[in-house]
Structure 1
């Protein structure tokens, strides 16, 4: 860790209005100070580092040239917005990033007027900026919509859907393509910067408009030929033909770290009557911090680290992560079955499939930020006899729900969904929490939905997925490390729809789905100590339910509690429906459901999040005692003998 750096210019900037008072020759120093401040802050909090370092100059230039917040600046994904937060009045809180009660790691509307649109999922910025731009145009208000989108995010179809519709915004829409990986265009230099300034200048655009108006008077074939000639000539010298075909005026590529290049081009774009405009900016992830430049992947998201050495704080040794266990189990399945293939949507390391890819490169498919395509691609492979595993975070699978329903479930295709980050996720907050997948999958006919209670169960469930050819099947598992149970040498094939009793009692039954099982067992210890004999069941399956086991538990216990890491509409709703349909509640059974609260929970440490959600052992005990109507003397009222 390090002390805060000296930042005399940055100290005088409390808002973009202060930034715009600086002379152009002061901006280089300001950017250097901004970069140093960001490095210092993230070394204390952890978080996303490389992407933010890559846009320090771009952030400075945008706020210097455009009239934010009247001009609406929208960051795609938002993990690169730390420099933006520092410049927009949140510097005094920047060392609370991703901490409970602190700043979000992404843009958030409730946090600042300079965050006009919340983002943490990819490829939404152009659609949102288009919405702002057109709304201002219709209302006669000033203000542009400015979308900053990375080249990776351009792999998602939604970006092109928005661009295809962008002509209605006219010059109110500016898209800045932050090219920091794919290198869409050749390396940039002085000539490219010069050409970008020329073609974005008012004089050039004026001549171009005059030529266009003249060309419109020509016969149609000549008019079309003139338009094509203009696009071809600029495409040959600068690239961007694709964007021109989508209706954008293309400018670039320009060096995104050279303020002398950025400022005049952005000023021209700001003042242009031509539009919409796409500015192609080339940047480098981790720019200005040697460890991050050398290993962009390792410094995309970081733990706390030492600024001088770049060494990140290491977590204490412990059980393997659920992600690592899944990856190892899937490699085992692939070794036994050549039909097993793996699909991810731009998250090979996050889902563990980078390890799978090393072992089976020809059977691993990273489709980019395109979850919808990933699901239907998997459906096509399943229809052709392969055994595809589609590994996607729960929060990102939401983006492909129509494909899950239409292309997988209705056709009853055996796509295997490995749903990582199920449940609450700590510092990434509500946008990344896997709160809804049991609800939105278990409501679908033909689906099998499993939840692993520990890492050994996950191994068994991966094997069960691999062997299940009669329809779609999903296994959900959380972020973080397992419980430390031994991993099986040989995986078991689980019987579909069958749970297990892990502790036998008589009065109270706790029906658990997923990794709340450990808390359920702790609660059982506390209830037993009060004389309340408690059964704990690991249901394993949210769909199909183990109806025989559930009937038995509801019929033989006085109070039953379901618990899950999922929103309303999941396991509890299905058990309540079963009990209602079969009249089990009419017998006097006290049935309670425990689930995630009906709110979007903010970022916090995971243990505190589950405490806030009321899903820890003390909450289970309290739920049981309230169901049994404890009186003030501690005697249970109305209990059956």
Structure 2
């Protein structure tokens, strides 16, 4: 559908291979370049899907930065990387831009190994200022030369890490440029006092620009403008001045500035590059999805899209055979909350992605979006639990990593019954290594008193939500993947599981396969292939990585010659706990055959999830081969 659309005419963009080519363009041509870059970005994402709105919001800023600064000598660091598609087009990757997020293609985020123009890799938010300050101090100490420029969104600025970096940068006082890209919207509408502060800053329009100019930029302006700015500053004495927060942290504040107006951006950036001596914060106001009506009018401003029709914005939708795991979680949690008014839900800037928007619509006073602040989310839930509530801390596996100290110190040590709903477990496809849920089994199951579950299908997920809701004796977590379920029937009234008890799925003999999580469907497919060879494995669903079902595991060992475990996680997780149990029981003393299948000791590149699991050797054919190897059966390699 979309692939047949003729790419837009881009005569100026066609002359740009690398950022250095922008130096020969006039300001008028840079305006035209921005228009063509926006059209090319829309065209490319219509073919690949991906993050559209953020990139469209920074087209002019991207052009201005590359026209003024000298990348890669100057380090331009894009926070998160959602907005980096226009940057990729201008930095030698236009010929591959329609491979975004596909296997073997360009990453959807900045990635150091992909290009020297990607100064710092990012898939999580709020890291850019810390990284830029590191580059700046490396420069001061004789390392790589050039400026360090961090571009950070208002949602990312709400995270504590960003303020830690601002505070340190202001204290060091070295030349550093931070651009606050204020688009009034991160993934979800930003929340909290900082967002209200930024809203007040630009509410007054041009007058606020004058205040920012008077307060923060006098020393950076060309001489003819400095006297007028000083007079404006005197006129504003006694009034609340924009940028006070950042100036108290040691930054010269400039703004707010219209981030879509190259006539403002170009002279401002040129002046800052020529004159700045210490840390500078430029407050740029943009609109997510700018210049493409379907994105501008979408509720999320086109944050993440599938392939779409450029003319209408209509996204191509695949036929769904089963509800998504996320929707099953949300529906079951709402049903439990109807029964129990102590259930509350917390998310960190991902109400749509985690399914909690539906919960918030039903229980607006019992759902909390804390913004991009996973550390706070975890400890906030700990306080809620200590106060007698039943909180569900609902965070993607990859983002939960950001709150690990709080999980240990504030939840586990105090044995508080926080329920962790861990979405995007395992490999996640197009988002790649930065978003893979590879490590939560290991980092949670190692904690004393934690209950750790993984759903084999959507019916099991529903039962695990209920189990967590009714578990009050300590922390409990359940993990589930991205995407559709398997199509099994979901019970109308799901019942809680017995803690630490797995189940036999299919009886057999000779070898047992113990699955933890949604690889169970692949295990069953492998079993069919093995049955055709005359081998009939017993298949069990562990359900729990902690506490392990000791009786089930030792029974499998006692009745079978060999045991294979499989999980969608890294080494150190479920299989390691099973191995420890077997070692403690003396099973290995008699030469028992045990193997585990885990994700490889590597970061798996983005691509189709099935292909990613194939590369990880965790699909049905690889499971079949592993069983045969475990039994010592040699099989000729398939052509």
What's the TM-score bracket when you normalise by the shorter of the two chains?
Answer: over 0.9
Q: Distance in 2 between matches of 1:585 and 1:623?
A: 19
**SS of equivalent residue, structure 1 residue 558:** strand
Is the 1:40–1:307 contact (alpha carbons within 8 Å) kept by the matching residues of 2? yes
Q: What's the CA shift string for 1:276-318, capped at 9, x where partnerless?
A: 0000000001000011111151611000000001111012122
Residues 323 and 420, structure 1, Cα contact 8 Å, conserved in 2: yes
Q: How does 1:45-444 map to 2 (within 5 A)?
A: 45-139=48-142, 142-167=145-170, 170-181=173-184, 182=195, 184=199, 185-187=201-203, 189-190=205-206, 200=217, 202=219, 236=239, 239-297=242-300, 299-444=302-447
Within the candidate set 470, 478, 481, 1:478 is matched to 481
Find the residue that maps to 1:573 and give its secondary structure.
Answer: helix
- Aligned residues of 2:173 and 2:278 also touching (Cα < 8 A): yes
Q: How far apart are the structure 2 equivalents of 1:547 and 1:614?
A: 27
The normalised TM-score by structure 2 is 0.93
| Deviations 1:11-55 (CA, angstroms, capped at 9, x unpaired) | 000111001110112111100000000000000000000000000
Partners of 2:219 and 2:226 within 8 A in 1: no
Judged with a 3 Å threshold, the aligned counterparts in structure 2 of structure 1 residues 348 and 326 are, in CA distance, closer, same or farther, namely same
Equivalent residues in 2 for 1:530-549 (5 A)?
530-549=533-552
| Change in 2 beyond 3 A, CA 1:541/1:30 | same
User: 1:235 deviation in Å?
Assistant: 9.4
Q: Is the CA contact (8 Å cut-off) linking 1:200 and 1:272 kept in structure 2?
A: no
Contact 2:211–2:233, Cα closer than 8 Å, also in 1? no
* Equivalent pair of 2:57/2:289 in contact (CA under 8 Å): yes
Q: Shift in Å at residue 588 of structure 1?
A: 3.1
For the 8 Å contact 1:123–1:149, the answer to whether it is kept is: yes
Structure 2 partner of 1:618: 621
Mark the runs of 5 or more structure 2 residues left unpaired by the alignment: 185-194
Aligned counterpart, 2:515: 512
- Whether the 8 Å CA contact 2:135–2:144 is kept in 1: the answer is no
Kept after mapping to 2: 8 A contact 1:68/1:114: yes
Contact 2:171/2:250 (<8 A) preserved? no
Equivalent residues of 1:427, 1:605 under 8 A apart: yes
| Distance change >3 Å, CA 412–CA 231, structure 1 → 2 | farther
CA drift at 1:533: 2.1
Aligned pairs for 1:490-509 (under 5 A) are 490-509=493-512
Q: CA deviation at 1:186?
A: 2.2
Q: Is the 8 A contact 1:133 1:169 kept in 2?
A: no
> Using the alignment, how far apart are the partners of 1:202 and 1:479 within structure 2?
51
Distance 1:235 1:549 in 2: 74
Deviations 1:507-544 (A, max 9, x none): 11000000001111111112222222210000000000
Where does residue 43 of structure 1 map in the other structure? Answer: 46
What displacement does 1:169 show?
5.1
User: Helix, strand or coil: the match of 1:8?
Assistant: coil
SS in 1 for 2:24: coil
CA contact (8 A) 2:110 2:120 kept: yes
* TM-score when normalising by structure 1: 0.93
Alpha-carbon contact 1:197-1:264 (below 8 Å) kept: no
CA–CA separation in structure 2 for the residues paired with 1:463 and 1:190: 54
Instruction: Kindly state the Cα deviation for residue 200 of structure 1 after the two structures are TM-superposed.
Output: 3.0
d(CA) in 2 for partners of 1:104, 1:499:
39
Contact 1:143 1:172 in 2 (8 A): no
**Distance between the aligned counterparts of 2:403 and 2:238, measured in 1?**
34
Shift of 1:633: 9.1
Q: Is the 8 A contact 1:77 1:123 kept in 2?
A: yes
User: Contact 1:255–1:282 at 8 Å: present in 2 too?
Assistant: yes
Matched position secondary structure for 1:149 = strand
2: CA distance, partners of 1:297 / 1:111: 28
Shift of 1:590: 1.1
CA distance in 2, matches of 1:275, 1:285: 30
SS at match of 1:108: coil
Partner in structure 1 of residue 27 of structure 2: 24
Q: d(CA) in 1 for partners of 2:421 and 2:238?
A: 43
Shift of 1:337: 0.1
Distance in 2, Cα, partners of 1:308 & 1:138: 52
Q: Give the SS at the match of 1:561.
A: strand
Secondary structure in structure 2 of the residue aligned to 1:47:
coil
Question: How far does residue 365 in structure 1 lie from its aligned partner after superposition?
Answer: 0.3
Contact 1:188 1:253 in 2 (8 A): no
| Structure 1 residues 403 and 140, CA gap change in structure 2 (3 angstroms) | closer
Stretch of structure 1 that moved more, 183-192 or 128-137:
183-192
Q: Distance in 2 between matches of 1:618 and 1:141?
A: 48
Equivalent-residue separation in structure 2 for 1:581 and 1:359 (angstroms): 49
Equivalences, count: 617
CA contact (8 A) 2:208 2:242 kept: no
8 Å CA contact 2:458–2:488 kept in 1: the answer is yes
Do the aligned residues in 1 keep the contact of 2:211 with 2:236 (CA within 8 Å)? no
Q: Which moved more, 1:604-613 or 1:162-171?
A: 162-171
Match of 1:594 in 2: 597
Query: Does structure 2 conserve the Cα–Cα contact (< 8 Å) formed by 1:200 and 1:268?
Result: no
Over the aligned positions, Cα root-mean-square deviation in angstroms equals: 2.2
Task: Pick which of 127-136 and 581-590 moved more.
Answer: 581-590
Answer whether contact 2:211 2:242 (CA < 8 A) is retained. Answer: no
The answer (yes or no) to whether the contact 2:111–2:122 under 8 Å persists in 1 is yes
Q: Taking structure 1 as reference, are residues 207 and 455 closer, same or farther at Cα in structure 2, changes over 3 Å only?
A: same
